[in-house]
Amino acid sequence: MKTFLESLEKWIAVLLLLLLGLAGVIIGSSAFLEMHWIGEFKEKIPHLVYATVGLLALALGIERLIPFHRWETQLNRMEDRIDSTARDLLEKSSWAWFVPGDRLTFEVAVTICQDAEQEIRALAIGGTPRVKIEFVEAINRFLQLKSDKSLKFTSVYSVDFSNVPAGFDEDCKWRISLHEKAGVSKQAILLFLNQKQQIGLECLLVDDRHTMIGLSDPDTRQYRGVLLFRNQPEVTKQLVTWFEDSIVRHAMTYDQVVAFRSKATTRERETHGLATEEEQSLESQERRPVN
């Protein structure tokens, strides 16, 4: 759908063209009609030109006013049909499909998550837990609908623990608080994988049925497109096994990440001779071998 600002810009452009034409007509005509004898005709020729140009601009503005509105209406209807067709395909089909851009990314993700019965798994190699709030709220609703609390949502974010993004701790607390307020904190598991290189790859697995792979810019978080495997268990089962064995197995909770970073900071301070006696004592105790 065209945004309100884009529509407003077109209408303003047409309005300015109409005002320009009207001003030209008024200026030119008023000066031209002040003649009292034919001798002034030559002196009024420039004003006559202004009036003519004004009339042309006025006619051009009026001519464009109606087509612009008609074209915009037709484009909006066409985009509505495209979105409607895409939604129908998402709900009824079984296929692999590439969705370019990020216009339908949220709808694709929510649509396939509605089918979840056991577990929703998400992996983001790049970015932070502060994702689109509408997505988190939708996930919370799906978790709440399971009265026996059997549905789980496991999300893993890869982060360089030694160089976390700005606002990382605030984003984690924000995400955790949303799940806690919804009463699904035990069902929503937030994990982190220590990885230096972020490549902008995201994966969403719904039970052993649906797979969505997103390609995004790790800096701007803008999607270039998503690859969707709907009702493709042979693909999803393989990825679920990989997710559990290679990702979750090596991931940490947020509290573990905080502890890891704290230890790393203490060791760095110790290396530079800045650690306190208490920090050095705790560090030496942890390194002491157990008999």
Q: Which residue, among 276, 206, 268, has the nearest Cα to 237 in the 3D structure?
A: 206
Q: Please, which pLDDT band fits residue 47 given cuts at 50, 70 and 90?
A: low
pTM: 0.61
Q: What is the predicted pLDDT for the residue at 39? A: 47
Same domain, 136 and 218: yes
Query: Does residue 237 have a pLDDT over 80?
Result: yes
Shared domain for 100 and 242, answered yes or no, is yes
Q: Does residue 161 have a pLDDT over 70?
A: yes
Which of 32, 59, 89 delimits the end of a domain?
89
112 and 165, same structural domain? yes
pLDDT digits (tens, 9 = 90+) for 243-271: 999 999 999 999 999 999 988 877 665 55
Choose the final residue of a domain: 89, 119, 140: 89
Q: Answer yes or no: do 184 and 63 share one domain.
A: no
Clarify whether residues 267 and 164 are in a common domain. Answer: no
CA distance 189 to 177: 12
Which has more pLDDT, 219 or 5?
A: 219
Q: Give the pLDDT mean for 44-59.
A: 62
**Could you tell me the residue range of the domain that residue 282 belongs to?**
257-287
How many structural domains are present in the chain? 3
Q: Are 150 and 100 members of one domain?
A: yes
**Same structural domain for residues 36 and 18?**
yes
Per-residue pLDDT, 9: 58
Residues 162 and 125 in one domain: yes
Instruction: Please spell the DSSP secondary structure of 47-109, one letter per residue.
Output: HHHHHHHHHHHHHHHHHHHHHHHHHHHHHHHHHHHHHHHHHHHHHH--SEEEEESSSSHHHHH
Q: What angle do CA 162, 165, 171 make, to 5 degrees?
A: 120
Q: Are residues 242 and 267 in the same domain?
A: no
For residues 106 and 163, membership in a common domain is answered with yes
Q: Same domain for 224 and 282?
A: no
Q: State both tokens at 98.
A: 């590439």
> Which whole number is the average pLDDT over 147-156?
92
The model's confidence at residue 1, banded by pLDDT at 50, 70 and 90, is very low
Residue 144 shares a structural domain with residue 224: yes
Percent of the chain at pLDDT above 70?
A: 57
The share of the chain scoring above pLDDT 90, in percent, equals 36
Here the CATH number for the domain that contains residue 175 is 3.30.870.10
| pLDDT, averaged across the chain | 77
